Chain A
Amino acid sequence: MKDLGDTSPPLLRVERQRWVIPARLAVTAIPYLWLLVFFLAPFFIVFKISLSEVAIAIPPYRPVFDLSEGLDVLWEKARALSFGNYVWLTEDDLYWKSYLSSLRIAAISTLIALLIGYPLAYAMARAPAAMRPILLALVILPFWTSFLIRVYAWIGILKREGLLNATLLNFGVISEPLTILNTDIAVIIGIVYSYLPFMVLPLYANLERMDHRLIEAARDLGCTRVKAFWLVTAPLSLPGIVAGSFLVFIPAVGEFVIPDLLGGSETLMIGRTLWSEFFANRDWPVASAVAIVLLAVLILPIVFFQRHQQRADEAGR
């Protein structure tokens, strides 16, 4: 009996182990593959272009690498690459002013989105369980319309003879129409509106999971509602706040469509500067250098975020 029973399982076990290891590898490889294909490869292509020179050709830069040319030629070409375009960026204050202005607009927008998004997410998380899916659907609903159309709609609302001015004039709040369209304020309104769901969703996910008994405990121990919120809810929702803020802040810094449609000639944002490098100057190398620097500017907060998440995870354990 024993012999019979022992002969087959080890075989099976071996079979299974052979299967298990590659499968596990494959599963862990997927995120790395994703990173390689959708981040690292494009990054190196753009980085390489940023070291090239402008040319009148298709594509409009030199050198273009062709793997069939042999190593000698490739090496020769690689030596022609230079960091001159990055030096150029430091020589003209336009770029730094654009980066700073983008960061400022994105930071203000993120703060406003947080101030609006937090109460919204809080109310959703505290709503009766049956209502929550509907409220969640309402937050996601705007995505069913094209982003572009929604930004265009804001032009109709914000312009001098638009909906907002007409309403305010009607109620006698103002006597002269306000100039909002084509200013930085319009850009901030557009960004807050467009990215608000990205603030609300992580906050909601966080607040909804929160153990309500903790608040009850705090109240039992003599906290007022406000104090309980600041001492319990707010710190516990910090990961949600951080996640939501980064989801708004990072795309807002590089935003192009909103400043282009709602902003004025004075609105300086890096997305627009990049556009004019690419389209008006036909200078793909400098445009790529601007993009690489933008990435570097954004990676710092992402790394900070990762660190924060890790610490939070460890603290939670």
Chain B
Amino acid sequence: MKRLIAAFALSAVLLAAPSFAGDKTVRVYNWSDYIDESILSEFEAETGIKVVYDVFDSNEILETKLLAGSTGYDVVVPSAEFLARQIEAGVFQKLDKGKLPNLENAWNVIEERVAVYDPDNAYSVNYMWGTTGIGYNVEKIKEIMPDAPVNSWELIFNPDILAKFSECGVQILDAPAEVIPAALNYLGLDPDTKNPEDIEKAGELLDKIRPHVQKFHSSEYINALANGDICLAVGWSGDVLQARDRAAEADNGVTISYVIPQEGAQMWFDQMAIPADAPNAEAAHAFIDFILRPEIAARASNYVYYANGNEASKPLLNEDVIGDTAIYPDEETTGNLFTKMPYPPRVQRVVTRTWTRVKSGT
């Protein structure tokens, strides 16, 4: 909650900045808690371009703004799955790669994976990527269930096991496009399925674990894990690792760990893109190119504990980032990671309806 208040306060301060700054301004719309802010001030000092930085915490909010048009933003950072549909809707302009000399630092493995969503990477550049897995409180899990299957989705999707941690607290992302594929994957079904019957099966599984879930929320679990308020969370890799760090800083006896379950997990990509009606596309290119510098990309990753799509930045990463398989998974784990394409509108409806039913029981 503090994060949200901080985000509101920050955007209020930034929005209050004079809007007549003219051509020397770049307006960036990115996820909350997702950047080392010294990078922004460094960009301003070096280029003389002022950065107006706003934050969101769900792809849906960003997409609704983009589809309404005239957002006034120059750089936005949707996840690739959403980006694909937005490209189709004509939201973005093609990148002028001549203005992005640092694109040579990009990591081809990530570019290839993103190409499924954005052919030829014509519209976007990777900012960060990560996985959706399980964060847990090491001591409490051990105390409640010494032989807990911590490297498996059984921990979440087996109602008998999850029930043991109900009392201690379980939170799950409020993101149907990530939780339903995880459930499908656990059931041995195609996580990228567009078949309503399969989605219904995932819904039934989620109904069974629902009684043991304290809350569906996409950012509160960071503090809840760090404070030891909950035992388990289905969350995003970097966020869980930020919780781990906050707990370590607070020295409160809480140890948090993140795991990519052995059955596999969803891999996602957050992509920088320029809206077609961006007021200052020139500055947007300059900003993206700045982020593409190896030392800047490395600093960003070292700060937020997410992997980036910048190959040249790897030697500059801290050991606790590049050496952590929760952030940069080894080859075997990477093979288990799956990606997901956007749902068509009719299927999206089934997914949202299933999700509402799971959450509200109606």
Contact = CB atoms under 8 A, between A and B. Distances in A.
A63 B43 CA distance: 43
A282 B67 contact: yes
A94 B357 CA distance: 9
Interface string A134-155: 0000000000000010001001
Contact of B348 (A94, A97, A273, A282): A282
A283 B176 contact: no
Interface in A261-296: 264-268, 273, 276, 278-283
B356 interface: yes
A276 B69 contact: no
A59 interface: yes
A59 B69 CA distance: 7
Among B66, B355, B362, the most chain A Cβ lie within 10 Å of the Cβ of: B362
Contact of B349 (A59, A264, A266, A281): A281
Given A60-B67, A60-B89, A155-B1, A280 B360 contact: no
Contact of A97 (B89, B355, B362): B362
A94 B89 contact: no
Contacts of B348: 280-282
B353 A94 contact: yes
A4 interface: no
A258 B167 CA distance: 27
A57 interface: yes
Nearest to B348: A281
A152 B5 contact: yes
Given A56-B85, A266-B361, A280 B90 contact: no
Interface residues of B, number: 32
Among B176, B216, B360, the most chain A Cβ lie within 10 Å of the Cβ of: B360
Nearest to B2: A152
Interface in A221-241: none
Given A58-B90, A265-B215, A283 B360 contact: no
A266 B360 contact: yes
A182 interface: yes
A220 interface: no
Given A56-B85, A265-B216, A265-B359, A280 B60 contact: yes
A54 B345 contact: yes
A278 B254 CA distance: 39
Contacts of A76: none
A276 B345 contact: no
A282 B64 CA distance: 7
Interface in B53-78: 58, 60-61, 63-64, 66-69
B67 A59 contact: yes
Contacts of A155: 1
A282 B351 CA distance: 12
B67 A279 contact: no
Contact of B64 (A56, A92, A264, A278): A278
B81 to A, nearest CB: 13
Contacts of B352: 276, 280-281
Contact of A279 (B61, B85, B89, B349): B61
Contacts of A265: 215-216, 359-360
Interface in B204-242: 215-216
Nearest to A60: B67
Contacts of A264: 215
A95 B89 CA distance: 29
A97 B361 CA distance: 11
Given A265-B215, A276-B352, A276-B356, A56 B88 contact: yes
Contact of B67 (A58, A94, A182, A267): A58
B233 to A, nearest CB: 15
Contact of B8 (A93, A148, A283): A148
A273 B352 CA distance: 10
B61 A58 contact: no
A282 B63 contact: yes
Interface in A53-112: 54, 56-60, 92-94, 97
B285 to A, nearest CB: 22
Contacts of B8: 148
Interface string A164-185: 0000000000000000001000
A54 to B, nearest CB: 5
Interface of A: 54, 56-60, 92-94, 97, 148, 152, 155, 182, 264-268, 273, 276, 278-283
22 contacts: A56-B85, A56-B88, A57-B67, A57-B89, A58-B68, A58-B69, A58-B89, A60-B67, A60-B89, A92-B353, A94-B353, A94-B356, A94-B357, A182-B215, A268-B360, A273-B356, A279-B63, A280-B60, A280-B176, A282-B63, A282-B67, A282-B345
Interface of B: 1, 5, 8, 58, 60-61, 63-64, 66-69, 85, 88-91, 176, 215-216, 345, 348-349, 352-353, 355-357, 359-362
